[in-house]
Structure 1
């Protein structure tokens, strides 16, 4: 996340989808189901993605084998005290 005051590049749904090699409709479906990168809702309607957050999300989706697939695009499960 960009914690300083430097400008961020906001992407529309089609721009973010193009960056990820997806159709815009895929991101729309993911927003409803809670998958995909974080987004911002501006003025109640306009959806924007922060470019650096999309790139970070893509990096988190890197897999080495098929057993890792379930981890990408979903919020991390809350850790119990025993796991911490």
Structure 2
């Protein structure tokens, strides 16, 4: 579909606000906790221990890039109790 003047965002804020939730490339701490069925406190503890997926911290806001979450999930895959899945 060709880009027209009406579809080009006029500001960065407009570009961000025009994204649907499925187009976002980061998850909040609460969203990731819900995705994995753990508490936000668990994610906080993991960050302090250097565990869990890579995260982005801007000021006080913590977010998890979706590609880092997916990479972490792939690494956590197991085929059996004795070896990791190779995917």
TM-score (norm 1): 0.63
**Which residue number corresponds to residue 29 of structure 1?**
45
1:20 aligns with 2:36: yes
Task: Name the count of aligned residue pairs.
Answer: 62
Q: Structure 2 stretches of 5 or more lacking a match?
A: 1-22
RMSD: 1.9
Contact persistence 1:8–1:50 (CA under 8 A): no
Greater strand share, structure number: 2
The two structures have a TM-score, normalised by structure 2, of: 0.61
**2:70 paired residue number:** 55
- Greater C-alpha radius of gyration: 2
Higher relative contact order (CA 8 A, sep 6+): 1
Q: How many Å apart are 1:20 and its aligned residue?
A: 1.9
